[in-house]
Amino acid sequence: MRLNIFFLIFLLASLSVSAQRLSGKEAEAKIMEYLEQYSPESHTMMALLAATPNKFNIGNSQITLSREQSPTAWLSERTEKGIIESLNTVVHETMHGFTSRYAYVMLEQNPVDDYEFGDSYSAFFLTKDEIYLVKHSEVFTSNKLKSGIPKALRTFRFNPYIIPKDNNLGSQVQGIYGLMDEWNAYYHGTKTAYDLFEYYQQKANDDNKIYLEHVSNLAGTYFAYYEFKYYILKYLELAKTDHPAIYSDIMANDNLRKVYTAIDTRFNALLGQFEERLDTIENIVTSDNYTSVHREDGYYFIGSNGVGLFSEEAEMLKKELNLATMVALDKELRIR
């Protein structure tokens, strides 16, 4: 009896800590602590951005940027649970800030001969040793893709990334560069969610259904791989047929094509790792011979509880990307 009471007190204390509301500074420190422990690559990106100044001298130009938004702005709540479940989004949104701001760091450290004030650049982070500086060429809005995308393929992210027309949305106004920025952000957010497995493993010792939180966090963003690859290739297709000068500039932009190739390689590999993770969880959970794990109608079940995998959307886009026209466009854009 005394042992049960002790366990109950311990459990209540643990729940109290995980539900404790943190201050902004405490939450920001906790974000970095979790990323350093579980997702070092994301931590590196966040640390580089945090150290990025607001003023830059590039050639004869002085550039001043507004203050970067705190990563706590993307938390569902400033608690341990809120931080963990939001890290996918935190990294995704912060990656956008990195992509636009860190370009100025790279330009200041290694000036380019043809830089002119007003030129647009992106810094695409893949790893700390692989950051690509990409100069933007002329674009048309991605909103123009809408008529070329069948209604059946207008999946979850078609709105707002393609429609309605929005002159403030990077995925539209920056054309292929904005679409690539979103694709990269979704990759890193999803990779961060994948990296948190050890955290959920520890929590699942008392309740294996906690693994569903991990699966749900991954399932919500993994199929963005197919969506944005499709949008990028449809953009290239439309440029090729209706905007030949823009198409030529894209094909001449080696760093952009390197970024496309690098994101595609890594994100595609992550999808395979996600499938393996689902098998790993099944093996762990079913080892006790009491709990079943199965997939049914696009859901992943542990016992009687399940979460959606968006399998139908993913398979539909995957099938489209395997068409000869899409495979040919992929080969055109890819660089070796």
DSSP codes of every residue in 133-170: EEE------GGGGGGGS-GGG--TTHHHHTSS--TT-H
Taking the C-alpha atoms of residue 22 and residue 16, their distance in angstroms, rounded to an integer, is 12
Indicate the DSSP class of residue 69.
P
pLDDT band at 251 (very low <50, low <70, confident <90, very high): very high
Are residues 196 and 84 in contact, defined by beta-carbon separation less than 8 angstroms?
Answer: yes
In DSSP terms, which residues pair with 23 in a beta bridge? none
Amino acid at position 185, single letter: A
**What is the chain's mean pLDDT, rounded?**
93
Query: Among residues of the chain, what percentage have pLDDT more than 90?
Result: 89
Are residues 296 and 306 in contact, defined by beta-carbon separation less than 8 angstroms?
Answer: yes
pLDDT of 170-200, one tens digit each? 999 999 999 999 999 999 999 999 999 999 9
Amino acid at position 257, single letter: R
Q: What pLDDT does residue 253 have?
A: 98
Contacts 24+ apart (CB under 8 A), 245-251: 245/138, 246/137, 246/138, 246/139, 246/140, 246/175, 249/137, 249/138, 250/137, 250/176, 250/333, 251/332, 251/333
Task: Determine the average pLDDT of the residues in 210-223.
Answer: 98
Taking the C-alpha atoms of residue 232 and residue 257, their distance in angstroms, rounded to an integer, is 11
Residue 16 reports pLDDT greater than 70: no
Residue 15 reports pLDDT greater than 50: no
pLDDT band at 278 (very low <50, low <70, confident <90, very high): very high
Q: Which two tokens stand for residue 154?
A: 């207008």
Q: What pLDDT does residue 53 have?
A: 95
Residue 217 reports pLDDT greater than 80: yes
At which residue do the structure tokens 């094509």 appear? 257
Taking the C-alpha atoms of residue 7 and residue 43, their distance in angstroms, rounded to an integer, is 35
pLDDT band at 290 (very low <50, low <70, confident <90, very high): confident
pLDDT band at 266 (very low <50, low <70, confident <90, very high): very high
Task: Determine the average pLDDT of the residues in 287-291.
Answer: 85
Q: What pLDDT does residue 114 have?
A: 85
Residue 3 reports pLDDT greater than 60: no
* 310: nearest Cα among 221, 197, 186: 221
In DSSP terms, which residues pair with 123 in a beta bridge? 133
Burial class, 21, CB count within 10 angstroms (exposed 0-12 / middle 13-18 / buried 19+): exposed
pTM of the model: 0.93
Q: What pLDDT does residue 18 have?
A: 55
Residue 6 reports pLDDT greater than 50: no
pLDDT of 72-120, one tens digit each? 999 999 999 999 999 999 999 999 999 999 999 999 999 888 888 889 9
Q: How many CA atoms lie within 13 A of 69 on its CB side?
A: 13
Residue 161 reports pLDDT greater than 70: yes
